[in-house]
Amino acid sequence: MSADERGCKEATPATCAHNRSFLDALPFGDRQDFDDAARGFIATLPDVTFRTAEGRVIFSLEDYAFLAHEQAPDTVNPSLWRQARLNMHNGLFQVTDRIYQVRGFDISNMTIIEGSRGIIVIDPLVSTEVARAALELYWQHRGRKPVTAVIYTHTHVDHFGGVRGVVDEADVKAGHVPVIAPDRFMEEVTKENVLAGTPMIRRAMFQFGAMLPKGPRGQVDAGLGKVVSGGTVTLIPPTQSITQPIETHVVDGVEIIFQLAPETEAPAEMHMFYPGLKALNLAENATHNLHNIYPIRGAQVRDANAWAKYLNEARDRFAAKSDVVFAQHHWPIWGNARLLDYLAKQRDTYKYLHDQTLRLINHGYRSAEIAERLALPRSLAREWHVRGYYGTLSHNAKAVYQRYLGWYDANPANLNPLPPAERAKKILAYMGGAETIIARAREDFAKGEYRWVADVMSQVVFAEPDNKAARELGADAMEQMGYQAESATWRNAYLFGAHELRHGLAAPAAPGRAGRDIVRGLSLDLFFDVLGVRLNGETAEGRTIMINWVFPDSGQRYAMTLQNGALTYLAGRQAETADATITLDRATLNGIILREQALPDAMASGAVRVEGDPHKVAELFGLLDEFSMAFDIIEPRRDG
């Protein structure tokens, strides 16, 4: 046990029995995935540890040496332990002729296709430092070939963040290296990372468990891979967008048929078929786990029906001509019969999830009832590649419910309930007070009723945040639930929740801010949307401000109005009665957003020119909130 794990407790007899039940329920004797994960291995690094230029460790497989043991400890679900061991395969692998992948260096894979003049890089990982090391590993064993194109399969940061580690933006701007992405890529990237970026980062601490100690009583995996690297995230905007449902292009001598698959794992996503190589790349829509229809870090709910549809179309159009299918996570499937079976079962899992949830909805079942009732048919449930290591059938069923019916279950008692803290105080009073509740909960904990204990202790904590006995018992219950979880994300969430109950808020107090390249990619419309989100409507009540914006470098003009506590704008317009006109270049705006230059300093230097009443400009910016990740989740907000 690591020093960081010493505060953690043993698995209880109930947890041990729960975890042992998986050994009989699932085909652990099937070793095909281990053969596939190792197939095509060429080389790896002696020490898979990556650092920033300043020496800070941003990713290390050395932390996971405990996974060398084949048998799962009592504190880890054996099915998740198996997945965690599979995700330890790392290094450079050959997929098929001219296609290579670097796996295990980040949560995602970097795919490399050898073209006529150089190499096509697909999805350059999360961080520039890791992407650069992955490319160097390829060059070391396959020769130093120039990068002739970069392709982003979709809009999540683990599929574009390391781009500056593999290509120089000057070569992109000069037209030497195209950057190809699905339609609406920049719009969706910036929306997801900016409008609700701060709470997503905070919530991702629970989903990925990056701040947990690594070990049998801590973080063991993230389902899709080990963990997200913590290096420098960058973005070079695409120079070419795939806009049609099916498009064929020749990229550095390689024929690629692109299939758009929007509203699936990402709002903008695409598959690729390489006919000359008989290979099918399904981005993140067919990986070796059940994926998320709703990730618990928070995001827009995805369309499980569309997900199944696009997999079905890819299977019908491309799979019969393929010898291998692979994705931007995990390992490939070889052999036409095997990949056809694999894709059919991936497709059918998402379709079953969608249709059976809706069937139960139409029978009048509520969200939580469906999540408790729904189970995959045996023909799917024993397939390792649809097990819930990342998404789960439970929270995905709730996501389908939410997509169609929203949060409200139609019971008027739930239409306008008391806020959590006030509700909790009433519950405690009705149940006889905290001491009585904790005493009863200890009895239920001894019976292994951890879900209920965690629930009821949460009520006590929300009513009495400083009640140490409730916090400790709630943490103990969450810890056992984490030990039992087959899903890596559930395990991480439970264990991180237990950590915060025991030790307090673990999130850094610094604001969650978008990276430099994300900010540069913001459209001006989205920038003004962000200002609207930051506007404190309560403080702004009763104020009216009209500001014109002029951007000489792009020729864009905006008329902005603050009225009734809402900030609105019109593109291409100027208000005749504006209080002030702000003139600045986009680069100056970027610097202000990134806090590289304060607005008053920019005005003093002349980089920002204000005509009219400068006090109105200062008044507007004085109404904007700053956001911090230091907000409570497992207890009530301390600010009331």
9, pLDDT greater than 60: yes
**Residue 394 located in a structural domain:** no
Beta strands (DSSP E) in 159-219 are 179-182
640, pLDDT greater than 60: no
Q: How far is CA 574 from CA 12, 72, 558, 560, 582, in A?
A: 68, 66, 6, 8, 11
Structural domain span for residue 436: 417-503
Residue 4: per-residue pLDDT = 54
How far apart CA 245 and CA 158 sit, in angstroms, is: 24
Strand partners for 120: 113, 149
pLDDT digits (tens, 9 = 90+) for 504-547: 987 564 444 457 888 888 899 999 998 999 999 999 999 999 99
Looking at the structure, tell me whether residues 492 and 525 fall in a common domain.
Answer: no
3-class secondary-structure state, position 125: coil
Looking at the structure, tell me whether residues 491 and 522 fall in a common domain.
Answer: no
**Residue 579 located in a structural domain:** yes
DSSP alpha helix (H) spans, 447-585: 450-463, 468-484, 488-503, 516-521, 524-534, 537-540
How far apart CA 395 and CA 71 sit, in angstroms, is: 28
How far apart CA 372 and CA 352 sit, in angstroms, is: 15
How far apart CA 178 and CA 184 sit, in angstroms, is: 17
- The pTM of the full predicted model, rounded to 2 decimals, is 0.94
How far apart CA 233 and CA 161 sit, in angstroms, is: 5
Question: What phi and psi values does residue 352 have, to the nearest 5 degrees?
Answer: -60, -45
Number of domains composing the chain: 3
Split at pLDDT 50, 70, 90, the class of 197 is confident
Amino acid at 393: L
CA angle 302/303/307 to nearest 5° reads 110
410, pLDDT greater than 60: yes
Looking at the structure, tell me whether residues 325 and 450 fall in a common domain.
Answer: no
Amino acid at 48: V
pLDDT digits (tens, 9 = 90+) for 125-156: 999 999 999 999 999 999 999 999 999 999 99
Looking at the structure, tell me whether residues 566 and 457 fall in a common domain.
Answer: no
CATH number of the domain that residue 489 is part of: 1.25.40.880
**Residue 630 located in a structural domain:** no
How far apart CA 58 and CA 230 sit, in angstroms, is: 5
Mean pLDDT of the chain: 95
Looking at the structure, tell me whether residues 186 and 72 fall in a common domain.
Answer: yes
pLDDT digits (tens, 9 = 90+) for 208-261: 999 999 999 999 999 999 999 999 999 999 999 999 999 999 999 999 999 999
pLDDT digits (tens, 9 = 90+) for 544-583: 999 999 999 999 999 999 999 999 999 999 999 999 999 9
Looking at the structure, tell me whether residues 182 and 329 fall in a common domain.
Answer: yes
**Residue 592 located in a structural domain:** yes
**Residue 524 located in a structural domain:** yes
Looking at the structure, tell me whether residues 465 and 528 fall in a common domain.
Answer: no
pLDDT digits (tens, 9 = 90+) for 385-402: 999 999 999 999 999 999
Residues 514, 201: contact at Cβ < 8 Å?
Answer: no
**Residue 190 located in a structural domain:** yes
Amino acid at 323: D
**Residue 7 located in a structural domain:** no
Looking at the structure, tell me whether residues 303 and 448 fall in a common domain.
Answer: no
How far apart CA 448 and CA 283 sit, in angstroms, is: 40
Amino acid at 173: K
23, pLDDT greater than 70: yes
